Amino acid sequence: MNNNTRENFGSKLGAVLAAAGSAVGLGNIWRFPIETGQNGGAAFIIIYVACVFLLGIPIMMSEFFIGRHTQTNTAGAYRKLAPGTPWKWVGRLGVLSGFIILSYYSVVAGWTAEYTRLAIGNCFDGKSAADFPTIFSAFVSNPWKSVLWMVAFMLITHVIVVRGVKSGIEKFSKVMMPALFVILVVLAVCSIMLPGASRGIEFLLKPDFSKISGAVVLNAMGQAFFSLSLGLGCLCTYASYFRSDTNIGKTALNVALIDTFVAIMSGFIIFPAVFNAGYAISSNDIGPSLLFITLPSVFQQAFGSIPMLSYGVSVLFYFLLVVAALTSTISMHEVVTAYVSEEFNMPRRKAATIVTIACSVVGVFCALSFGPFADFKLFGMNLFDLFDYVASNIFLPVGGMFISIFTGWYLDKKLIRDEITNNGTLRVPYLRFVIFILRYFAPIAIAIILLNQLGLFSWF
């Protein structure tokens, strides 16, 4: 595909909603509340927000201007900016990360679809807390169900990606993101009105600084990365469809604000209900158990006095997860599809089909790692956990670190200034600060996260 036929997002709002759709996902509604619950409530949120602003927004701006300047997929972007150098491997690593994350993320996304079906069928009604672990383990260990839902989710993603940037990704984001905000606010209001909700709210808003440690700071940074979809060129690929008048700084700020808003609102849905039902977020809630074992039970207990309410809350909540997951899987699929299509000179539909088939095959192994392949372990982890670990804890931080080094040290500062100011037409007073962060703070901070996660360095 040459640049003349390349599509663009039709509007600035469409571009913001598509990028926000990528950022808002299971990471916000599932990982963020757990991290908050285990790391000192509001104290964690303060550090997380600092990471979003000090690290997330500058790196997001880098991804945006690399993508918009080069108007090509993430691997092609580095080749164009640094021809004949190994920098193209940063883009390729991003494509590989997108492929791996899409393969296992679609498995959990499929689970959210099955739980939406169960909620619509009123299958949680009358169940006790002890029933939910059994329901979940019966589902995930059933090879057919898990695989079929994963494939179904991949196919829906495929259909939207094949329709293209404007009539697929942008159109879908413009309908689904507002729907997501409405559902989020309705659920948060229902939860806040529960008796005893104030304890949940206090937990979210009253910082317990005694829980803060080096490890907590590192978790907050890792969460900010995953949640903002940074480090794999996803936002770089989306930015390659931005129009030339898109304000990069403002778009990055909007995406970060929307993503943080959704994460905090998820806390307002989950904590008042969890406290009302007398649960405590525990270390068992790591992984899928919060979403698929604790919460269905919490919703029954907290809203059970009005049966229609517990039904409505459960249906809306799982549907919210489906929508959030789908806007994220679309963005990961697009990273790989754009790469295959442009680097191997293939029509978009054919490239998307190859990506869908390849990711589904790998996804089958991830889905089965909770059933028939549960005993197949590498480095003590099943395939699903291994992929999650390698992609989120290693590939994303490595990608983010190289992106900041690339922009902070390799690229010409004039090019950066021209891109961010739209050739001098925008005033961007914080530009020097952003460049400072990209040169010094981001690479060092990310190197610390990485070494810590690999266990090569312990900071406290």
Is residue 404 within 8 A of residue 445, CB to CB? The reply is: no
In whole angstroms, give the CA distance from residue 440 to residue 449.
Answer: 15
**Tokens linked to 240:** 């390659």
Is residue 231 within 8 A of residue 399, CB to CB? The reply is: yes
* Residue closer to ligand PFF, measured from CB, 302 or 322: 322
In whole angstroms, give the CA distance from residue 227 to residue 22.
Answer: 9
* Residue closer to ligand PFF, measured from CB, 173 or 331: 331
Q: Is 381 helix (H, G, I), strand (E, B) or coil?
A: strand
In whole angstroms, give the CA distance from residue 27 to residue 259.
Answer: 10
- Quote the least distance from Cβ 226 to ligand PFF, whole Å: 6
379: left (phi over 0), alpha (psi -120 to 50) or beta: left
* Residue closer to ligand PFF, measured from CB, 28 or 146: 28
Is residue 363 within 8 A of residue 107, CB to CB? The reply is: yes
- Quote the least distance from Cβ 104 to ligand PFF, whole Å: 11
- Quote the least distance from Cβ 26 to ligand PFF, whole Å: 4
- Quote the least distance from Cβ 423 to ligand PFF, whole Å: 29
Q: Is 25 helix (H, G, I), strand (E, B) or coil?
A: coil
- Quote the least distance from Cβ 125 to ligand PFF, whole Å: 29
Phi, psi of 128 (to 5 degrees): -95, 170
- Quote the least distance from Cβ 282 to ligand PFF, whole Å: 22
What spatial distance separates the first Cα and last Cα of the chain, rounded to whole Å? 51
Question: Residues 354, 342, 151, CA angle at the centre, nearest 5°?
Answer: 25
Concatenating the DSSP letter of every residue in 331-358 gives HHHHHHHHHHHHHTT--HHHHHHHHHHH
- Quote the least distance from Cβ 4 to ligand PFF, whole Å: 27
* Residue closer to ligand PFF, measured from CB, 224 or 277: 224
* Residue closer to ligand PFF, measured from CB, 14 or 21: 21
* Residue closer to ligand PFF, measured from CB, 36 or 297: 36
* Residue closer to ligand PFF, measured from CB, 76 or 132: 76
Binding site residues, ligand PFF, CB under 6 A: 22-23, 25-28, 98, 101, 226-227, 229, 232, 234, 328, 331-332
